[in-house]
Amino acid sequence: MTTTRAEPGDGRDDPGLGAIMSERRQLINLAYRLLGSLVDAEDVVQETYARWYAMSATERRAIESPGAWLMTVAGRICLNLLGSARARRETYVGEWIPEPLPEPTEWITGRSGSGAIDPADRVTFDESVTMAFLVVLEAMTPAERVAFVLHDVFRYPFGEVAGIVGRSPAACRQLASSARRRIRTAQSPAGPGAGQAGIVRQFRTAWEAKDIGALIGLLDPDAIATADGGGLAVTHLHPIVGGEQIARAYAEIARVAGDRTTFLECTVSGLPGLVARQDGILVTVFAFEIVGDRIRHIWAVRNPEKLRPWQGS
């Protein structure tokens, strides 16, 4: 990012509120991909704007590209948060899963729930916000994640990435390359198709019928089911490994829930999924990763703090 100092009388105007706020959508998109949390992303954007307006008008006029300045600051804040997030997740109750997004091509963020939400508060939906992709990002170091997302997703040149990450362009290139290897190894499938949605529908039917044999037939023998309750909802604290083990555990869940639970098929963070309501209250969002004709991974988000985007669904 290039900045130039304004001299008295150079005629440069202080960027107006409209021009600055027009960058909000880009900032939300960056922060969500880096943090996997809409709440944290909104906090980052708020802090970024606070730092902008903490400068004097003269200092703001001296910045040649306000958008680049805002993205740089947001990226640095996210980098710092990623480091502290790792420490926080060591004390998190159970497994931590990125916040799932509903299906609309673009989901509007905002905490008020009043419906009067700024259209700038949007998360643009693409492969980089799918559940499978975000889970892979979680396995990266903070520097890898920032370098990869800025370069490969937002197309920032490594020279500018270096200024955000605090490393040389060559080091950032290596970080992004390492991140790509992680993603290739994970081999995340493409978005859901009609066939994958059909497999989830069969899973739902077998689950509601407590048909363990049918569930086993739909699950990969090495499947994994991961749940996130955050200590705020009852769930399995550790991943369930193995198709038969998952089938039996989910059949028991269905037995305990009885007829109180209903399911809605939907797309969850780019994957086929289910939304579960218990006594009419949304309690769980499930995302399914399907390889071939078998379910390889189930992510079940039960932490109510992560279900805010789904409350109107």
* CATH code at position 202: 3.10.450.50
Q: What is the pLDDT of residue 111?
A: 38
Residues 237 and 140 occupy one common structural domain: no
Residues 29 and 114 occupy one common structural domain: yes
Pick from 42, 38, 37: nearest CA to 24: 42
Note the pTM of the prediction, 2 decimals. Answer: 0.84
Where is pLDDT greater, at 110 or 179? 179
Residues 207 and 181 occupy one common structural domain: no
Cβ 273 vs Cβ 287: under 8 Å: yes
Residues 181 and 44 occupy one common structural domain: yes
Mean pLDDT, the chain, whole residue set: 86
Q: Is residue 12 part of a domain?
A: no
Range of the domain at 290: 194-310
135 phi, psi to nearest 5 deg: -65, -40
Res. 304: pLDDT tops 90? yes
Residues 203 and 74 occupy one common structural domain: no
Q: Residue 17 contacts by C-beta under 8 Å, 6 or more apart in sequence?
A: none
Residues 100 and 240 occupy one common structural domain: no
Where is pLDDT greater, at 208 or 127? 208
Q: What is the pLDDT of residue 156?
A: 95
Res. 2: pLDDT tops 80? no
Q: Is residue 9 part of a domain?
A: no
% residues pLDDT > 70 (the chain) = 85
Q: Is residue 10 part of a domain?
A: no
Q: Is residue 7 part of a domain?
A: no
Cβ 31 vs Cβ 46: under 8 Å: no
- Structural domain tally of the chain? 2
Where is pLDDT greater, at 185 or 239? 239
Q: Which two tokens stand for residue 143?
A: 């520097």
Q: Is residue 98 part of a domain?
A: yes
Tens digits of residue pLDDT in 46-96: 999 999 999 999 999 999 999 999 999 999 999 999 988 877 888 899 999
Q: Is residue 11 part of a domain?
A: no
Q: What is the pLDDT of residue 89?
A: 82
Q: Is residue 3 part of a domain?
A: no
- How far apart, in Å, are the Cα atoms of 42 and each of 99, 128, 192, 272, 279? 13, 18, 28, 26, 31
Residue labelled with tokens 């500018």: 160
Q: The dihedral of CA 81, 84, 89, 92: what is its sign? A: negative
Q: What is the pLDDT of residue 110?
A: 42
Where is pLDDT greater, at 229 or 22? 229
Residues 33 and 55 occupy one common structural domain: yes
**What gap in Å lies between CA 282 and CA 173, rounded to an integer?**
43
Residues 75 and 57 occupy one common structural domain: yes
Tens digits of residue pLDDT in 242-266: 999 999 999 999 999 888 899 999 9
**What gap in Å lies between CA 94 and CA 67, rounded to an integer?**
38
Q: What is the pLDDT of residue 238?
A: 96
